[in-house]
Amino acid sequence: MPIPKNIQWSRLSIEAAAIVGSILLAFAIDAWWEDHQERENEEEYLLSLRQELADSIEFAKENEELRRKVVEAHVSLVAQVQGEIRATDRDLYEWISLLSYPLQYYPPRAVYNDIVALGGTNLISSAEIRISLAELEQTIRFLEQYDESSWVVWVQRIQPFLEGRIPRVERLRQGYARDRFDMPFGQSPHTADFDAIFADPVFEDMIAERWLRLQNGTLAIGRVISQSRKIVDLIDAELGVGAQI
């Protein structure tokens, strides 16, 4: 077959360049669209995460307040052991009831868990936000450990020690029900032996041990609040939001 002598190389070059350019443009559009979708998804997650953290901060504040009351009850009881002017039975019942509060912190986690399930915090482009979330997660785990160890002291040591010395009915009626009238218990015929409890060095030791563990938990919940606020501020900066918590 004879080869054409007048091949229009310039035209072929232009057409080839147009084809290559079209393909590259299509790839670029696809990449841009994919990146755009990722950024939109990221923004939605960050906004949802910000709201979740804001809710958790309010919950943590309430939790922190309760922890401080429980810690103060331990301090007050140790003061009784060490000879402070005897408090009223009503106050003693309330303080001892506060010892049995199961202190736990379960913040709202649906958005964070969803992010983890969909591929981890790599969905978030900001390295600082990712690192801060990891630090917050670690603090929450420490808090859970402190709370668990604190509860063990109550269940395995303090609660058994109190049995037979302070009627549980009175602890409920005069402690938990201080401002309520619907408790199904009348007054116990048995009296509390507070003097024997305060004279026993084992009681002081148990209270001091639990106080220390509760203090660790109180410090941890404070860190949870500050770290959560930091992440909220980082999200605001990332999204250009001016609100502060």
The full set of domain ranges for the chain reads 9-239
- Asked whether the beta carbons of 218 and 67 are under 8 A apart, the reply is yes
**H helix runs in the chain, sequence order:** 9-81, 89-99, 110-117, 127-153, 159-162, 168-170, 194-199, 201-239
Could you tell me how many residues make up the chain?
245
Q: Which residues contact 177 (CB under 8 A, 6 or more apart)?
A: 183
pLDDT at 186: 81
Cβ neighbours around 121 below 10 Å, total: 19
Residue ranges of the chain with pLDDT lower than 70?
A: 1-41, 118-122, 177-182, 241-245
The CA–CA distances, whole Å, from 111 to 66, 128, 182, 234, 239 equal 26, 18, 39, 17, 17
Amino acid identity of residue 152, one-letter, is: V
Cβ neighbours around 192 below 10 Å, total: 19
pLDDT at 147: 95
Choose among 162, 152, 121: nearest CA to 217.
152
pLDDT at 174: 81
Amino acid identity of residue 134, one-letter, is: A
pLDDT digits (tens, 9 = 90+) for 89-120: 989 999 998 998 889 898 888 888 887 776 65
pLDDT at 116: 74
pLDDT at 33: 47
Q: Which residues contact 193 (CB under 8 A, 6 or more apart)?
A: 165, 166
